[in-house]
Amino acid sequence: MRARRDQISKRESAMIERKQFYIDGAWVDPVTPRDHHVINPATEEPIAVISLGSEADAVKAILAARAAFPAFSETSLDERIALMEKIIALYSAKMPEIAQAISQEMGAPMWLASAAQAPSGLSQLMGALNALKEFTWEHSRGNTRIRYEAIGVCSLITPWNWPMNQIGCKVGPALAAGCTMVLKPSELAPLDAMILADIIHEAGVPKGVFNLVNGDGPGVGSVLSTHEEVDFVSFTGSTRAGIEIAKSAAPTVKRIAQELGGKSPNIVLEDADLQKAVSSGVMQVMTNSGQSCNAPTRMFVPRPKLGEAAAIAKATAESVVVADPAGDKRFAMGPLANGRQFEKVQSLIEIGMKEAELVTGGLGRPEGFNKGYFVRPTVFVSQTNDTTIAREEIFGPVLTMIPYDTEEDAIRMANDTVYGLSGYVQSENLDHARQVAKQIRAGMIHINGASTDSVAPFGGYKQSGNGREWGDFGLEEFLEVKAVMGYGAVAAE
């Protein structure tokens, strides 16, 4: 019994405690503290305690951002460039700490947290800085001057699956545009965001420009969506939540940009290298434990090649090593980020086992794990595109393979979804792949496994959202356009 008490005491003494919010340039106590434990998904044990904010906390942050907006929106480009360069330098120095926080709070293996999760935030900040330097802020059309100006106070609501990437692609362009903001990171993965707040404070960002309030949707998110002093809401998360935010923002006619769900098709064409196309497609699904909105979770293969393709997918999925994210196994897959997501994925796998053929994986944790939100890499074959697992976003390491008879049939099924975030095309003939890519109704198309491009627009069609992020496309979301008529012609731009 004493040994058990010693273990508990040791764990609690090591627990991080960060209950304050960053408002108006300082860390401040919540108006009404409400403790919330951050859970390590590999151990199901708490690693930190934060406070969940209330309406009063959110309003304080919004009003601080409003007060700071007039001065910050008028800062020069050189001032904002210098500020962002300081933030980037400090972020680079803290990269290992950020990676460690992400791994512990949402379960990304340390190799992935260090190689992709933490660096993605840096990449977004650098992309916003480059856009700031290169953007044409004013130009003339005859006697009219066209100006781009900061949109105002921005609510930034971010998810837990790629936490720093999504924070970076909102905070970066907001600062570059001259906006002020309130960030609500996911209460399930808030620690990396609080490190960023420390960085922003150390960089000397003027008080009130950046504010952070932890909280859940009902307590903080709803206020950030409805308050009349908020001009713009940038949200990344589920389509269900995005719909509610749009409804909440409608009465005050706020502008909204949303990056929502996906069920991305991966068309393996007849002339593709089957081994390469299928194996790479499986691995793209399994990366980040399947918790990427643009993952190619529906794979369409020619019906005569279905058996061979399924065998390749089975071998590839079974080669995936599931491991403790704190370990050093490169390319290993970690747990899902939280218990709710674990239960959702298990439920959909169970449904899939009733309506489709299970190729590999299935219910329960992988062998060797009796706790933690670990999921078996799973592959199904569904004979149609109408099954639950072919239509719902599972957001876990689960691939659904679907046979097609003609290329036209594959394209039709690829587009037969409420989503339209990404699409993938595999072919040895580049012109052929390009022709098919043109016909997929999605915001981003990847040919032959091409990775995302940091200077390309990120966003989707249909219920995958509206607006675009990354680079100059992301910067424009934080800007209003003003036409000054009668300005007079400018001799030299």
* Residues noted as catalytic: 259, 293
| Residue tagged 């960060």 (tokens) | 18
User: What is the spatial distance between Cα 98 and Cα 95, in angstroms, rounded to a whole number?
Assistant: 5
User: What is the spatial distance between Cα 458 and Cα 240, in angstroms, rounded to a whole number?
Assistant: 20
User: What is the spatial distance between Cα 105 and Cα 265, in angstroms, rounded to a whole number?
Assistant: 30
- Outline where 41-190 has alpha helix (H): 55-73, 77-93, 95-106, 110-112, 118-134, 163-177
User: What is the spatial distance between Cα 173 and Cα 69, in angstroms, rounded to a whole number?
Assistant: 15
Q: How many Cα neighbours within 13 Å face the side chain of 66?
A: 12
The residue length of the chain stands at: 493
Q: How far is CA 36 from CA 96, 237, 354, in A?
A: 25, 21, 37
| Residue tagged 């290992």 (tokens) | 96
| Residue tagged 């390319």 (tokens) | 331
The pair phi, psi for residue 53, each rounded to 5°, is -75, 170
| Residue tagged 């993952």 (tokens) | 295
Tokens of 42: 């590999």
